[in-house]
Amino acid sequence: MTDQEEQLTQLGAEVPVPDSPEKAKLERVANPHSDTHYLARFTCPEFTSLCPVTGQPDFAHLVIDYVPGEWISESKSLKLYLASFRNHGAFHEDCTVAIGKRIVSDIEPLWLRIGGYWYPRGGMPIDVFWQTGVLPEGLWVPDQGVAAYRGRG
């Protein structure tokens, strides 16, 4: 087992969903192509959190695009981190930006963009977008592929 594999505490293990985003651990592994700019995309079409006022569930379709540097995100830990929001009360803007900032802090990508496409609350969908810096020159970034709200299916 390599040093890198020894640091992974969630992959291949039975791990409960953390009680809160603060308790979740985002893990990373060495990028095997750190000499190449490329885009990695994570899509979470069934993201859930709680309204901080009513306690009712809110639902979103998240799209996270990032350009890895020395590290790539270990996807199981990211899934557990995102799932930890299901009992977390926060506004749409807070959830979306906090997720982006946490990934930047822990994974240290060269560039990151997150789109939070939230289903209606009070009859109004709220879409939240956040990114870091400038996209590396010459890198192709596809559209996030989430249609403008029309019953978002």
Q: Using one digit for the tens of pLDDT, what is the confidence trace for 106-128?
A: 999 999 999 999 998 888 889 99
pLDDT at 150: 64
Element (DSSP H or E) covering residue 3? helix 3-7
Alpha helices in the chain (DSSP H): 3-7, 75-83, 92-107
pLDDT at 8: 86
CATH assignment of 36-131, among 3.30.1130.10, 2.160.20.10, 1.20.20.10, 3.30.530.20: 3.30.1130.10
Averaged pLDDT for residues 12-25: 91
95 flagged as catalytic = no
> What does the DSSP 8-state code read for residue 28?
E
CB 66 within 8 A of CB 112: yes
Choosing from 58, 65, 95, 106, the catalytic residue is 58
Domain residues of the chain, as ranges? 36-131
75-83 vs 92-107: helix axis angle to the nearest 10? 150
Start-to-end CA distance of the chain, whole Å, equals 43
Q: Among the listed ranges 76-80, 94-98, 139-143, 148-152, which one has the minimum average pLDDT value?
A: 148-152
Which of 102, 112, 115 has its CA nearest to residue 25? 102
* pTM more than 0.85: yes
Choosing from 3, 19, 44, 51, the catalytic residue is 51
What are 38-95's pLDDT values in tens digits?
999 999 999 999 999 999 999 999 999 999 999 999 999 999 999 999 999 999 999 9
